[in-house]
Structure 1
Amino acid sequence: MDPEKGTPTQDVKAIDARSDGTQLSTQEGTTQSRHVLGQWFLSLAHSKLAETRGIERVEDDEKLPPQPRRYTQMLFLWISANLTANNVALGFLGPATFRLSFTDAALCSIFGVLVGSLTTGYIATFGPVSGCRTMILARYTMGWWPSRICVLLNLVIMLGYGMIDTVVGGQMLSYIAGGDISVVAGILVIAVLCWVVTEFGSPLFHIYERWAFVPQVAVLLVLAGVAGPYFDVKSPTMGNRSTRIADRLSMFSLCLSATSGWAPAGADYYVYFNAKTPKWSSFFFTWLGEALGNIFAILMGSGIASGGFTRESSWAEAHEVSPGALLVAGFDDLGAFGTFCAVILMLGVAANNVPGTYSSGLSFQCLGSYAARVPRMVWNSFAVIVYTICACLGKNHLYEIFEDFLALMGYWCCIWVCITIEEQVIFRKGKYNWDEWNDRTKLPVGLAALVAFAVGWVGAVVGMDQVYFVGPIAKVIGDGGADVGLYIGCPLAALTFPPLRWLELRYIGR
């Protein structure tokens, strides 16, 4: 058995391991291979770079041997996934939307990222020891049926990431081409690149993410050198005192939400790692990689956006076109070499999109037994189609998508993480039976978690500050309100869950 592929390396003619864990006989395989789709799938499944495993647990004897390079693999994966153009564009929101100074935007983003990345680091520790995908882990807290709410919300996150990433890439390519190439064409380029990598699964995914950060670091350092002198580090944050506080709080919350959005996928990429992998390493290198990638990218975006309001040149004009165009304009002074760097930065968006697309295929399989029978590769293809269509429809509303979508991600992710921590520390004392991952008679019923989750959401709603709704508590902060949904929803969920879980264990027993 090749552990990282999840497919047999010997006797492939006798047995083929399918993504849902069932066995496909030689005769059945021969019958299916008569069809074009069947031939493609079987040839891909037997490729050395392909993974046909789906959501079934990776047993300890199937895992990779422990090696020091696994630590750097964790670190580079998360740097690559976050040191991308879409997170540079996220940094635009500080000066462009919240009217923060560069210093305020930088401080809010740094601390928001550092806190939000803790959630991903925590969930990542379950990957090696359990061999279970993240949304399977949710069953141990939320229960068999309620966990599917988390699955649906996670699909919204991962498909939303795909939409944002492809829009940023499409805007950049269109501006690079002087409008001769449409934004839709750029969206398709990024979508196809992500589809190719995710179809093969974990082996190619890890190879790609191990090195994807290298060209991104290079071009962003070039961008820092050429655009840095135009950063406006002197202009103050706009508004009165209460408004400034509200805007700083909203930027902090936005960056916290953006990084915590990776928590529902944090364990997906470590299931093949040896079960003896130290938990501290999974936590620390995940947290550090996600934080470093986001901080560098968001700081670049905040600097460019601050200069976009003061520099009387192509920056201001580009900002009127689209956020992606402003990214490209940062390279203007370098001529043809700047165009080359912008293309590299545009293609690098795929590094952020690949993990989300991969995890979306797994999440689809977690929706039920029938969905689990559909190969992950088919679900990945479906996910790419969905977010590509959404990106084409929402290509002119990137800032609105950023501001509203990212906050919603943070609400449920942080509430779920709070409940998971309490389940692990208070009730399980760190002891799990991972063999029960697919036995609903052994898993929690989930009533306590469901009620606590709902209570947390109520708290988040009364504190949210979004275009479509401003909660009564959010309204009283500053002139325009501030998003405090996280800080109300998480404590409410954390206070509600323990007594309800105690009652659930006492009267139901699981």
Structure 2
Amino acid sequence: MLTVGDGEVYERQLEKNPRWYQRILDVGFEENGIKPVPPENRTDKRYWNLFTVMFTALLCILPLPTGMLATLSYGMSLRDASLVILFFSILTAIPPAFMGVGGTQTGLRQQIQARYSFGLYLAVIPLLLNAATVTGFSVIAAIVGGQSIAALNPDNVSLSVGIVVVCLVSFAASLLGYRAIHIFNTWSWIPNLISIVIAVGCGGRYLHLQSAVPAATPSQVLSFGALVAGYFLTFGGTVSDYSIYHDPRSASKLFIFANYYLGMFLPSVPLLILGAAIGGAVPNVPSWNTAYTNLGIGGVMYEMLTPAGGFGKFVLVLLALSVIGNIAISMYSVALNLQMLLPFFARIHRFIFILATFAVMIPCSVRAAEAWEESLENFLALIGYWAGCFDAVLIEELVVFRKRDYASFDHASWNVGRRLPSGVAALLACVMSFGLIVPCMAEVWYTGPIAKTTGDIGFEMAFVVTAVLYYPLRWLEIKWRGHI
């Protein structure tokens, strides 16, 4: 068991570790879990890692099914879908990239930073939502990777087996922790990019076979835009987890922001658009349509690579494994979230929670794969609502109430409830905002009265209304508590 005292920060204590534990650390396991990292231990100057950790995580086949929803589910043309993807990506990648700067400046994990708005105890609510969201993304990544493996030999390799293979490989990287994830993501984008280019080169001749559809309505634009927003905004719950050991003194905040922003934007936009192109062609290419019905995007990628013969199958394996970088960082963050759930959990080693995450993820992935397209659409839409609330609170807390002073995130307070906010203001602002979010929601199972006219503008309402409500509520909380 680990010891975690009030306000205790992470310090390397090699001489105090049990021999068995030190041997594990010597293999390459990350020692720290959720303790703040003081400035003297933030020495990593490889800032390009902040770019590559996101770039590799998103340079995979995971964005493709999200892009496909534009043309397959929302009935948009490729041109309109591309414009929506570009505009909403430019806009909604800003909040998580801005929030990621806090990792280098504070040495705090993202959900520990949330305690400085939501308090020690009420922070459990966004913590659980974030863990569920990140697990959901991992499940989708595991499904698309598993579909690709199963497509190689559908008679002998089931989708479930493919999912297990992808999860096992991802588990190894996340188990080792921070350093291993950064090393893996520094280089693994290269085979990912090559395999995607080959797939497009082999199957691209069919991408022009798009169905003729009317111009997109405002409702279609906003509803699909909400999915794109959900895709980006949810990184606000984890992004600082990957930068807490980076030196805050050797690079500007703008440079750190740019690394995160470009790491998310550059791979996502082309792949989301590629997904929209594939989705528009699927109904018009019989072999693709059959493959998509049987094995989703993995089946389509197999058909795209068929002209390459045996080499195409090798490339398909690389495409299946391209999701490892994404699942690895997701498992890593979920394990950290579980450590924060209860005070006692902070004393349990991080890699135990990686095992727990792995054990939960496989059955969830297998189950969700049974209706994966519907699961994806509902999941992406719903997460955008809570993520909009969460990002609004944390950004306003930093910019308005803490005047962008990262030193106000006092390490001595990170696990001391009386020295943190109560969290009432943050929670009330989020909950009350749903008074406008619900009428603005447009889901398969529910469409609010406002959304019937406008389309889904729930995430916009979530961000704006939460920000407006948080200001007076937080001001009153500070007056009541007597400290920020």
Is 1:359–2:343 an aligned residue pair? no
Q: Which residue of 2 aligns with 1:227?
A: 203
1:428-467 pair list within 5 angstroms = 428-431=402-405, 432-435=408-411, 436-467=413-444
Assess if the C-alpha contact under 8 Å between 1:237 and 1:244 holds in 2.
Answer: no
- Read off the aligned partner of 1:95 and give its amino acid letter: T
Moved more, 418-427 or 195-204: 418-427
Q: Report the 3-state secondary structure (helix = DSSP H, G, I; strand = E; otherwise coil) of the residue aligned with 1:441.
A: helix
Matched residue pairs, number?
A: 469
TM-score for the superposition, normalised by structure 1: 0.88
- CA distance in 2: counterparts of 1:292 and 1:456, whole angstroms: 32
2: CA distance, partners of 1:333 / 1:397: 29
CA-based RMSD of the aligned residues comes to 1.8
Q: Are the aligned partners of 2:135 and 2:331 in contact in 1 as well (CA < 8 Å)? A: yes
State the Cα deviation string for residues 20-59 of structure 1 (Å, max 9, x = none): xxxxxxxxx36xxxxxxxx5x5532232x22021000011
Q: 1:240-289 deviations in whole A, cap 9, x for unaligned?
A: x7x73222221111111111111110100000000213211121110111
Q: 1:114 to 1:63 in 2, by over 3 A?
A: same
Distance apart, 1:292 and its partner CA: 0.8
Match of residue 368 from structure 2: 394
Matched residues in 1 for 2:109 and 2:169: separation?
24
> Which structure 1 segments of 5+ residues have no match?
1-5, 17-28, 31-38
Partner of 1:45: 25
d(CA) in 2 for partners of 1:508 and 1:434?
16
Of residues 351-360 and 105-114 in structure 1, the stretch that sits farther from structure 2 once superposed is 105-114
Deviation digits for residues 290-341 of structure 1, max 9, x if unmatched? 01111122122112222212224x2121122132212222212221121111
**CA deviation map 1:34-85 (0-9, x unaligned):** xxxxx5x5532232x220210000111112253xxx2322212111010111
TM-aligned CA deviation for residue 416 of structure 1: 1.4
Q: Distance in 2 between matches of 1:54 and 1:131?
A: 12
**Does structure 1 residue 341 correspond to structure 2 residue 321?**
no
Q: Which runs of 5+ in 2 are unaligned?
A: 1-9
TM-score, normalization by structure 2 = 0.93
2:146 to 160, 164, 170: 170
Check the 8 A contact 2:210/2:281 in 1, yes or no.
no
Match of 1:307 in 2: 281
**What is the alpha-carbon distance in structure 2 between the residues aligned to residue 103 and residue 237 of structure 1?**
11
SS, match of residue 132 in structure 1: coil
Equivalence map 1:45-124=2 (5 Å): 45-47=25-27, 49-66=28-45, 70-124=46-100
| Contact 2:174–2:331 under 8 Å retained in 1 | yes
What SS does the corresponding residue of 1:394 show, helix, strand or coil?
Answer: helix
CA–CA distance in 1 between the matches of 2:370 and 2:72? 16
Which residue of structure 2 aligns with residue 21 of structure 1?
Answer: none
How do residues 282-293 of structure 1 correspond to structure 2 at under 5 angstroms?
282-293=256-267
The residue number in structure 2 matching 1:470 is 447
Confirm whether residue 244 of structure 1 aligns to residue 217 of structure 2: yes
The runs of at least 4 aligned residues of structure 1 exceeding 4 Å deviation read none
Written as runs of structure 1 = structure 2, the 5 A alignment for 1:493-508 is 493-508=466-481
Where is the helix percentage greater, Structure 1 or Structure 2? Answer: 2
For 1:283, the aligned partner's letter is F
CA positional deviation for 1:451: 0.6
- Opposite residue 112 of structure 1, the aligned amino acid is F
One-letter identity of the residue aligned with 2:264: E
Q: Distance in 2 between matches of 1:390 and 1:505?
A: 42
Q: 2: CA distance between counterparts of 1:496 and 1:65?
A: 38
Distance 1:493 1:246 in 2: 23
